[in-house]
């Protein structure tokens, strides 16, 4: 478990405007009292596959990978959760235990909101229930769209897609520190690690990207975007 920190008030947090704007003051106060906030370091496990689901998890800051065991020695990254989003909504109301693990891939700040408190609010607030359903639907769409987009691409296109995703949708900068290893990229896009290393080396040789340890700079985003689309 990470380090518990002093709670921020949901009234003054982006948390409210993103998800709980349908709540009246008393409803928001109830959920605020059901919340715990923790800080995690990069590499910290937030929950393990098989743990009982007792809370809904909201990511305030950082990045978290959702991953599932496929064998005793191998795992598959299902997705990467980004700030200002709930994590694992696809199963939080339909399962009793997590069917995946959550691990911080950057230093992260996380809020836990009691699932029981959320269910109680759903039972009395129809607008809030619709907000929950909408959020679950969007989460499902994002996972499916990402997997479908990658499945249509060849190896070079998949690498280009992921690099652009980090640059344009996560860091908003064409220079960034890659938060995952080459092995983790291979899990995310269903490739062999050696192919990830080879293709990124080809991109560097072709002058499309610059690599310095974990630091990546996309030098020719237009070319990388073309590879992603045609790949």
Burial of 103-132, coded b for 16+ CB within 10 Å and e otherwise, reads: bbbbebbbbbbbbebbeebbeebeebbebb
pLDDT over 80 (residue 22) = no
pLDDT tier at 118, thresholds 50, 70, 90: confident
pLDDT over 70 (residue 68) = yes
Which own/partner pairs from 74-83 qualify as long-range (CB within 8 Å, at least 24 positions apart)?
75/101, 75/187, 76/187, 76/190, 77/180, 77/184, 77/187, 77/188, 78/143, 79/142, 79/143, 79/146, 80/105, 80/170, 80/180, 80/188, 82/169, 82/170, 83/59
R_g over Cα of the chain = 19
pLDDT tier at 161, thresholds 50, 70, 90: very high
pLDDT over 60 (residue 220) = yes
Which own/partner pairs from 165-171 qualify as long-range (CB within 8 Å, at least 24 positions apart)?
166/216, 167/216, 167/218, 167/221, 169/82, 170/63, 170/80, 170/82
pTM exceeds cut of 0.75? yes
In order of start, what are the domains of the chain with their CATH numbers?
3-136 (2.60.120.10), 152-230 (1.10.10.10)
In terms of Cβ atoms closer than 10 Å to its own Cβ (0-12, 13-18, 19+), residue 135 is middle
Residue 3 is given by DSSP the state E
Quick one: which of 17, 113, 15 has its CA closest to 61?
Answer: 15
User: Taking the CA of residue 73 as centre, how many other CA atoms within 13 Å lie in the half-sphere pointing to its CB?
Assistant: 0
pLDDT over 60 (residue 54) = yes
Distance CA(27)–CA(41), nearest Å, equals 32
pLDDT over 60 (residue 11) = no
Average pLDDT over residues 15-30: 64
In terms of Cβ atoms closer than 10 Å to its own Cβ (0-12, 13-18, 19+), residue 3 is exposed
| Residue given tokens 């800051």 in the structure block | 61
Distance CA(1)–CA(64), nearest Å, equals 14
Lowest mean pLDDT among 18-27, 55-64, 152-161: 18-27
pLDDT tier at 135, thresholds 50, 70, 90: confident
Characterise 209 by phi-psi region: left (phi > 0), alpha (psi -120 to 50), beta (else): beta
CB neighbour list of residue 164: distance below 8 Å, 6 or more residues apart? 218, 221, 224, 225, 228
- 102 strand-pairing partners: 47, 66
pLDDT of residue 230: 85
Average pLDDT over residues 29-46: 88
């Amino acid at each position: 478990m990470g380090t518990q920190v002093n709670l921020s008030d949901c009234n003054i947090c982006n948390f409210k405007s993103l998800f709980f704007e349908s709540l009246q003051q008393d409803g928001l106060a109830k959920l605020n009292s059901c919340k715990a906030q923790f800080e995690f370091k990069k590499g910290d496990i937030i929950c393990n596959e098989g743990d009982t689901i007792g809370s809904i998890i909201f990511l305030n800051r950082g990045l978290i990978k959702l991953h599932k065991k496929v064998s005793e020695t191998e795992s598959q990254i299902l997705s990467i959760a980004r700030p200002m989003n709930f994590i694992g909504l696809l199963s939080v109301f339909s399962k009793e235990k997590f069917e995946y693990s959550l691990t911080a891939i950057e230093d992260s700040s996380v809020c836990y909101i009691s699932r029981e408190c959320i269910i109680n609010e759903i039972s009395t607030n129809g607008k809030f229930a619709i907000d929950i359903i909408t959020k679950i639907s969007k989460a499902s769409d994002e996972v499916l769209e990402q997997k479908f987009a990658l499945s249509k691409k060849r190896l070079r296109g998949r690498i280009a897609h992921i690099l652009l995703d980090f640059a344009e949708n996560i860091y908003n900068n064409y220079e960034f520190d890659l938060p995952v290893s080459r092995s983790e990229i291979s899990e995310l896009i269903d490739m062999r690690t050696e192919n990830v290393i080879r293709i990124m080396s080809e991109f560097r040789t072709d002058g499309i990207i610059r690599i310095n340890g974990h630091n990546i700079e996309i030098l020719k985003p237009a070319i990388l975007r073309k590879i992603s689309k045609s790949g």
